């Protein structure tokens, strides 16, 4: 009874296809060089049809960004593990897997490249991505502090230290050099070292935590890789 008419279903599917195509083409070519003909072709339809769904290139871009922002929010779940160290390790790996995905890097490049022209987009990206993850991490770290496992004055700085330690170098390199996405061994190296520094600086039981870190193994490569 709630089944939509075929026509409406098709409209929803086509809109979906257009937004996906827009993401691909904008990410590859940047806003200006991506043409509406290219995006229509990528979506498997024609430009006049595309214009029936989105009245202008700007509106398509904005809609695509809004959609992607919502998708981004879904990516940052918190893996559960046994113990703070295992949790930090699992999350570091999860975060790395998301952030270093080629499509995510392409999107980041797009946003950074357009940040001057579209300040709201940059702001929205920062709010839905990094700031959101940071807020979650701050809460997590404060819980660990309350449980006596960590000590720090400023939870925000501690959370930012963690990202800086585990992913700053590979991500920056990958942003500058698209071919330079690190392999899993390299990511492991950064994560492990970053967590060591973090635990040495903030843990109330550094020896025990470093030993726990030594026993952890990286997660299997995800199918999306």
Name the site residues for a copy of itself (rule: CB under 8 A).
28-30, 32-33, 106, 109-117, 119, 122-123, 125-126, 130, 154, 157, 160-161, 163-165, 168-169, 172-173, 175-180, 189-190, 193-194, 196-198, 200-202
CA-CA distance, 225 to 222, in Å (whole number)? 6
- Find the Cα–Cα–Cα–Cα dihedral 102, 92, 67, 223, rounded to 10°: 50
For residue 223, how many C-alpha atoms fall within 13 Å in the half-sphere facing its CB?
0
* Candidate residues 1, 21, 23, 45; the one interacting with DNA per rule CB under 7 A: 45
Residue 177 interface partner, choices DNA, a copy of itself, none, CB cut-off 5-8 Å depending on type: a copy of itself
Q: How far is CA 91 from CA 28, 95, 101, 156, 220, in A?
A: 29, 6, 15, 17, 14
**If binding is defined by CB under 7 A, does position 117 make contact with DNA?**
no
Residue 130 Cβ vs a copy of itself, minimum distance, rounded to whole Å: 7
Among the listed residues 94, 72, 98, the one whose alpha carbon sits nearest the alpha carbon of residue 81: 94
Tokens 């809460």 sit at which residue? 139
Could you say whether residue 30 binds DNA (CB under 7 A)? no
Residue 34 makes contact with DNA by CB under 7 A: yes
Euclidean distance between CA atoms 127 and 106, whole angstroms: 18
Told to check if 11 binds DNA by CB under 7 A, we report yes
Residues 6+ apart with CB under 8 A from 103: 23, 27
8 Å CB contact between 174 and 114? no
Which of 42, 161 has the CB closer to DNA?
Answer: 42
Does 12 interact with DNA (rule: CB under 7 A)? no
14 binding DNA? (CB under 7 A):
yes
Least Cβ distance, residue 58 to DNA (angstroms): 6
The site partner of 183 among a copy of itself, DNA, none (C-beta below 5 to 8 Å per kind) is: none
Of residues 93, 74, 97, 77, the one with CA closest to residue 85: 93
Closer to DNA by CB, 10 or 214: give it: 10
Interface positions with DNA (CB under 7 A): 5-8, 10-11, 14, 33-37, 44-49, 51-52, 55-58
């Amino acid at each position: 009874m709630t089944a939509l008419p075929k026509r409406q279903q098709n409209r929803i599917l086509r809109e979906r296809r257009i937004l996906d195509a827009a993401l691909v083409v904008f990410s590859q070519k940047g806003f200006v060089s991506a043409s509406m003909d290219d995006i229509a072709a990528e979506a498997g339809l024609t430009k006049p049809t595309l214009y029936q769904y989105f009245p202008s290139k700007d509106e398509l871009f904005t809609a695509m960004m809004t959609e992607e922002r919502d998708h981004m929010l879904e990516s940052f779940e918190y893996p559960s593990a046994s113990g703070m160290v295992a949790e930090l390790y699992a999350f570091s790996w999860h975060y790395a897997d998301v952030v270093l995905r080629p499509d995510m890097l392409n999107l980041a490049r797009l946003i950074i490249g357009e940040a001057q022209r579209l300040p709201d987009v940059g702001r929205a990206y920062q709010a839905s991505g990094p700031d959101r993850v940071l807020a979650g991490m701050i809460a997590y770290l404060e819980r660990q502090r309350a449980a006596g496992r960590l000590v720090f004055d400023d939870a925000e700085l501690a959370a930012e230290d963690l990202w800086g330690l585990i992913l700053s170098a590979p991500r920056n390199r990958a942003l500058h050099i698209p071919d330079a996405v690190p392999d899993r061994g390299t990511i492991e190296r950064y994560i492990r070292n970053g967590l060591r520094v973090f635990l040495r600086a903030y843990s109330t039981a550094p020896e025990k935590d470093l030993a726990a870190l030594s026993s952890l193994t990286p997660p299997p490569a995800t199918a999306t890789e």
